[in-house]
């Protein structure tokens, strides 16, 4: 069973780290000061979630310590989805990604409060308020921009079209889905995807956006198995640049 | 752009070329009040600029509630707040003299002692 | 020159020629002498308003431009502790910008006008942010010493006469103590680490020494004084006094780690005054003029951020809403 739990924890931790890393790139250059502060806090929260998950992997499941897991693994060992690896682009893409990803996170963590794996259930209870705020922010902001002016409407629709199949890649099934569900560790990606669809579809429509038609063949899969887009390797090289200059040093 | 910042390298800095500035894109000003704990007063903390009260609250949380404890935040449109003009500050001037409103004004201990003394002597 | 150290001679001359309503001016000055604060709705001399706007605006610009050199290393911080500390620290600087622009807004200049003046080059920011953060050790030196210098300045300014600026500075100084602590922590880890780490730290110290001496502006012997600004508690300490206070507090903390500054003449004399070699003030004036190593980049990035964010702000704008000046 521990392999199943590890699979779940790694993909959640890697998603949180990579999106937190990406979103922190906006710190200091956001579209306005107040938004800059909010977006930066959420990026810090995400990195915090990654650390908490790596800590469970380390303390409960015997994996390496969090800094080693974050800064000393290879691209192939990362199990993040393709959505989170994408460069920040412009604010339309970053906002839509934030909305689609955080709705999935909220539903995931809400369901995990009931997990039979206690360390994860406890963490889920602890951070659900943070993720609730992330979703509040995403909802308010996407709603405002989708109802703003012609340019912003067009931008948000375009961003949604470009992001939709990447977002569906969040729910790529892992090797251990059955084990996770039958042991009540996790509701499983298929169920999560169903709940997410039911949540985001009416919301986005209420903002006046059109949900793109889903083409199964276009869903961005592979991340959960260690196959990534061209963006992850450079991201990791950059993130680990200083660490690698003196691999045994304490920083 | 010759830069050491990998984030900046990734930006499309050609856009900066015209350096055109903007006019009249001010968002609304909201005054923010911060309540640290249940049972305590909400205290004025500062302002945020935001397009709606909802977003003003989202922003107030990060600017005025990102450290320490927060029980709640209020936001109020600055245009909805009424204050005295500073020339009228003199209306408050004599208030501290009105000691009959202060508990410390009422001192009867001496009288009681004198009364007791008189009675025992009698 | 964080907020207030540099005034051109022409400006100082003009300042002394302004005429104001004598009674109101006397009442205003009495209030300041009594140690009371000035609040936004009060009568104030035009020159007081103008100098405060200039100073608070420069300070605000310094915060958001100051976020850029450190931002250089946001994506490369070497472990989780440093990564979170750095993002939170740079975020704070943006927060400081927000607080300071708000304080300046109470004096009647909008945030948008100030940002426009920044990207047009009409208004200045601290010279020190026109130097590059070349290695990770620069982040340690900036966090400890540049923030340390900024704190000296900001604690002094927080005793000034303008209420909203003092309130902003009180909050800012509290957050700065986190910046300082995390900067010192970073310095100590590098100083007590591997030879590679120590070497990169020493190199960073060597490069930041001169900009740090420039930080408080030219020597009192050569720069223009304004009695008026001192009397109005807009300026509260001389450049040399602030610089001396900074050196006194921070030089020993570097020396105790066995590190050095690239100046054989740096020492404290018997009267407690720090002496140092001439830090090349021509360079300081060149950087003010825009010829520092990173002036162009800093402005280009701020321009980009303003322009790339414009569609967002425009979309958020409700045309029927009217901007009003913050209350306090
Ligand atoms: Fe600051
Ligand atoms: Fe700082």
**CB distance C306–B2 less than 8 Å?**
no
State residue C213's pLDDT score: 98
| Distance in angstroms (rounded) separating the CA atoms of residues A1 and A20 | 29
Q: Quick one: pLDDT at residue B18?
A: 61
Q: Domain A2-245: give its CATH code.
A: 1.20.1260.10
Among C76, C106, A192, C227, residue whose Cα is nearest residue B5: C76
- pLDDT confidence of residue A199: 98
From the CA of C175, how far away is ligand 2's center (Å)?
Answer: 7
* CB of C119 less than 8 A from some CB of B: yes
Longest dimension (CA), chain B: 102
Q: Could you tell me the CA-to-CA distances from C123 to B37, C126, C177, C310 in Å, in that order? A: 41, 11, 28, 21
Predicted structure pTM score: 0.95
Q: What's the gap in Å between the CA of A182 and the closest CA on chain C?
A: 35
> How far is the alpha carbon of C196 from chain A, nearest alpha carbon, in Å?
7
Q: Which residues in chain A (49-88) have CB-CB distances under 8 A to chain B? A: 87-88
According to the model, what pLDDT value does residue A153 have?
97
pLDDT tier, B17 (very low <50, low <70, confident <90, very high otherwise):
very low
Interface of A with B in 104-163 (CB under 8 A): 133, 136-137, 140-141, 144
Domain ranges of chain A: 2-245
Segment C41-58 mean pLDDT: 96
Label residue C225 by pLDDT band (50, 70, 90).
low
Tell me the pLDDT tens digit for each residue of C249-261: 999 999 999 999 9
| Alpha-carbon distance A183 to nearest alpha carbon in chain C (angstroms) | 32
Q: Which domain holds residue B49?
A: 6-82
Residues with CB under 5 A from ligand 1 (ion): C 63, 93, 96
**Average pLDDT of A73-93?**
98
- Higher-pLDDT residue of C220 and C197 is C197
Residue reference for tokens 């909305």: A99
Tokens 């709603």, residue located: A143
Tell me which chain A residues have a C-beta less than 8 angstroms from the C-beta of C182: none
Per the model's pLDDT, the better-predicted residue between C13 and A63 turns out to be A63
Pairwise CA distance, residues C318 & C295, whole Å: 35
CB contacts, 8 Å: B24 with chain C: 112
The partner residues of B49 in beta bridges, in order of sequence, read B29
Over chain B, what is the mean pLDDT? Answer: 91
Taking only the tens place, the pLDDT of each residue in A127-172 is: 999 999 999 999 999 999 999 999 999 999 999 999 999 999 999 9
B13 reaches C (C-beta below 8 A): yes
φ, ψ (nearest 5 deg) of residue C202? -60, -40
What is the distance in angstroms between the CA of the first residue and the CA of the last residue of chain A? 35
Q: B46 to chain C: which residues are within 8 Å by CB?
A: 99, 102, 167-168, 171
Task: Please state, in angstroms and rounded to a whole number, the distance separating the CA atoms of residues C98 and C308.
Answer: 19
Instruction: Tell me if A88 sits within 8 A of A94, measured CB to CB.
Output: yes
Which tens digits make up the pLDDT trace of C51-73?
999 999 999 999 999 999 999 99
Give which of C140, C127, C162 is closest to C298, Cα–Cα: C127
What is the rounded CA–CA span in Å between residue C159 and residue C174? 14
Tell me the mean pLDDT in the region B54-74: 97
Cα separation of A202 and B34, whole Å? 34
The helix (run of H) or strand (run of E) holding residue C221 is none
Any domain includes B114: no
User: In this predicted structure, what is the pLDDT of residue A1?
Assistant: 75
Cβ atoms A27, C67 nearer than 8 A: yes
Within an 8 Å CB–CB cutoff, is residue B68 touching chain C?
A: no
pLDDT value, residue C11: 62
Inter-chain contact C77–A149, Cβ cutoff 8 Å? Answer: no
Residue B107 corresponds to which tokens in the numbers above?
Answer: 């001192």
Q: How far, in Å, CA of C1 to CA of C66, rounded?
A: 13
- Report the residue count for chain A: 251
Beta-carbon pairs below 8 A across chains B and C: 117
Q: Which of A24, A31, A251 sits opposite C309 (nearest CB)?
A: A31
| pLDDT for the residue numbered C4 | 43
Position C1 scores a pLDDT of 46
pLDDT in tens, C3-12: 444 555 566 5
Residues paired with C288 in a beta bridge: none
| Residue B28 phi, psi (nearest 5) | -70, 150
Residues A206/A147, Cβ–Cβ less than 8 Å: no
Chain C residue with the nearest C-alpha to that of A244: C78
Mean pLDDT of C193-198: 98
Angle made by CA atoms C192, C86, C176, in degrees to the nearest 5: 90
- Reported as a pLDDT band with limits 50, 70 and 90, residue B19 is low
Query: In chain B, which residues have their Cβ closer than 8 Å to the Cβ of A32?
Result: 27, 49
Say if B1 falls within a structural domain.
no
pLDDT tens by residue, C252-301: 999 999 999 999 999 999 999 999 999 999 999 999 999 999 999 999 99
- Residue B34 is inside which H or E element, if any? strand B28-35
Q: Tell me C145's DSSP state.
A: I
Average pLDDT over every residue of B70-99: 95
Of the listed ligands, the closest to the CA of C70 is: 2
Please tell me the distance between residue C151's alpha carbon and the centre of ligand 2 in angstroms. Answer: 8
For residues C86-106, average pLDDT: 98
Confidence band (pLDDT; 50, 70, 90) for C202? very high
- B102/B105 Cα distance (integer angstroms): 6
Q: How confident is the model at residue A50 (pLDDT cuts 50, 70, 90)?
A: very high
> Contact, C263 vs C256, CB < 8 A?
no
List C-alpha distances in Å: C293 to A169, B69, C129, C152, C288.
44, 42, 10, 25, 11
Pair C192, C256: CB distance under 8 Å: no
Best CA proximity match to A96, nearest among A129, A40, A25, A145:
A145
Paired strand residues for C267: C275
Residues of C in Cβ contact (< 8 Å) with B78: 324-327
Whether the CB of A31 is below 8 Å from some CB of chain B: the reply is: no
SS3 per residue for C16-75: CCCCCCHHHHHHHHHHHHCCCCECCCCCCCHHHHHHHHHHHHHHHHHHHHHHHHHHCCHH
Binary contact (A37, C71; C-beta < 8 A): no
The share of chain A scoring above pLDDT 90, in percent, equals 99
Which chains does chain B touch, 3 or more C-beta pairs < 8 A? A, C
Tell me the CATH number at B33: 3.10.20.520
Contact A84, A15 (CB under 8 A): yes
Helix ranges (DSSP H) in C120-238: 136-141, 147-157, 163-191, 195-214, 227-231
What spacing in Å lies between the alpha carbon of A167 and ligand 2's midpoint? 37
Task: Report the candidate in B14, B7, B62 with the shortest Cα–Cα distance to residue B34.
Answer: B62
Under 8 Å between Cβ of B65 and B73: yes
d(CA C224, CA C75): 42
The more confident residue out of A124 and B19 is A124
Give the pLDDT confidence of A194-215 residue by residue, as tens digits.
Answer: 999 999 999 999 999 999 999 9
Rounded mean pLDDT, B83-100: 93
Assess if residue B109 is contained within a domain. no
Q: What is the dihedral of CA C169, C173, C175, C178, to 10 degrees?
A: 170
Mean pLDDT of C222-246: 90
Per-residue pLDDT of C100-116, as tens digits, reads 999 999 999 999 999 99
Strands C274-275 and C267-268: antiparallel
Of C67, C111, C189, the CB nearest to A250: C189
DSSP run (H or E) holding C275: strand C274-275
A89 touches chain C (CB under 8 A): no
User: Would an 8 Å CB–CB cutoff place A155 in contact with chain C?
Assistant: yes
Record: contact B27-C313, CB cut-off 8 A = yes
Which backbone phi and psi does B73 adopt, to 5 degrees? -130, 145
């Amino acid at each position: 069973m521990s392999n199943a739990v590890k699979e779940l924890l790694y993909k959640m931790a890697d998603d949180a780290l990579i999106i937190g890393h990406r979103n922190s790139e906006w710190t200091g250059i956001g579209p306005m000061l107040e938004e800059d502060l909010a977006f930066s806090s959420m990026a810090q929260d995400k990195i915090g979630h990654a650390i908490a998950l790596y800590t469970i992997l380390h303390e409960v499941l015997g994996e390496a310590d969090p800094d080693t897991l974050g800064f000393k693994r290879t691209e192939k060992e990362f199990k993040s989805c393709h959505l989170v690896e994408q460069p920040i682009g412009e604010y339309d893409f970053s906002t839509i990604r934030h909305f689609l990803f955080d709705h999935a996170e909220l539903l995931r963590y809400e369901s995990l409060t009931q997990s039979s794996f206690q360390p994860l259930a406890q963490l889920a209870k602890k951070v659900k308020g943070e993720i609730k705020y992330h979703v509040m922010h995403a909802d308010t902001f996407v709603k405002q921009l989708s109802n703003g002016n012609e340019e912003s409407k067009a931008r948000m629709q375009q961003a949604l079209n470009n992001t939709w199949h990447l977002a569906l890649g969040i729910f790529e099934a892992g090797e251990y889905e059955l084990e996770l569900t039958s042991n009540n560790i996790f509701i499983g990606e298929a169920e999560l995807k169903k709940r997410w669809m039911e949540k985001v579809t009416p919301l986005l429509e209420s903002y006046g956006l059109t949900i793109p038609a889903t083409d199964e063949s276009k869903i961005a899969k592979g991340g959960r198995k260690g196959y990534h887009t061209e963006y992850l390797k450079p991201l990791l090289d950059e993130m680990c640049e200083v660490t690698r200059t003196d691999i045994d040093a304490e920083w | 752009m010759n830069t050491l910042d990998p984030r900046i390298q990734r930006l499309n800095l050609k856009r900066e070329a015209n350096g055109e500035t903007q006019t009249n894109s001010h968002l609304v000003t909201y005054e923010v009040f911060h309540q640290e704990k249940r049972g305590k007063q909400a205290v004025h903390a500062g302002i945020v600029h935001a397009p709606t009260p909802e977003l003003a609250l989202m922003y107030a949380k990060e600017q005025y509630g990102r450290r320490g404890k927060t029980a709640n935040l209020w936001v109020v449109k600055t245009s909805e707040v009424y204050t005295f003009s500073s020339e009228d500050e003199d209306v408050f001037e004599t208030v501290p003299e009105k000691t009959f409103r202060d508990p410390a004004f009422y001192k009867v201990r001496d009288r009681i002692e004198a009364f007791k003394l008189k009675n025992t002597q009698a | 020159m964080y907020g207030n150290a540099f005034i051109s001679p022409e400006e100082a001359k003009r300042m002394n020629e302004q005429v104001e309503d004598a009674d109101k001016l006397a009442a205003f000055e009495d209030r300041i002498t009594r140690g009371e604060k000035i609040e936004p709705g009060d009568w104030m001399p035009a020159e007081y308003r103008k100098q405060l706007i200039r100073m608070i605006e420069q300070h605000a610009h310094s915060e958001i431009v100051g976020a850029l050199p450190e931002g250089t290393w946001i994506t490369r911080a070497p472990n989780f502790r440093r990564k979170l500390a750095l993002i939170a620290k740079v975020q704070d600087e943006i927060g400081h910008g927000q607080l300071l622009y708000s304080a300046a807004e109470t004096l009647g200049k909008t945030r948008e006008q100030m940002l426009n003046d920044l990207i047009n080059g009409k208004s200045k920011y601290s010279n020190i942010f026109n130097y590059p953060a070349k290695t990770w050790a620069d982040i340690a030196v900036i966090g400890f010493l540049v923030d340390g210098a900024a704190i000296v300045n900001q604690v002094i300014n927080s005793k000034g006469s303008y209420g909203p600026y003092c309130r902003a500075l009180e909050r800012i100084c509290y957050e700065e103590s986190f910046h300082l602590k995390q900067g010192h922590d970073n310095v100590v880890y590098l100083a007590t680490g591997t030879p590679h780490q120590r070497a990169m730290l020493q190199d960073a110290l060597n490069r930041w020494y001169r900009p740090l001496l420039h930080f408080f502006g030219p020597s009192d012997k050569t720069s223009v004084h304004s009695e008026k600004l001192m009397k109005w508690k807009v300026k509260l300490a001389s450049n040399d006094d602030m610089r001396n206070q900074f050196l006194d507090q921070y030089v020993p903390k570097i020396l105790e780690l066995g590190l050095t500054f690239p100046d054989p003449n740096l020492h404290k004399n018997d009267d407690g005054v720090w002496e140092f070699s001439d830090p090349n003030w021509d360079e300081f004036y060149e950087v003010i003029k825009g010829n520092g190593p990173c002036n162009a980049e800093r402005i280009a990035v701020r321009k980009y951020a303003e322009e790339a964010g414009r569609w967002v702000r425009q979309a958020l704008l409700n045309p029927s809403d009217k901007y009003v000046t913050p209350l306090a």
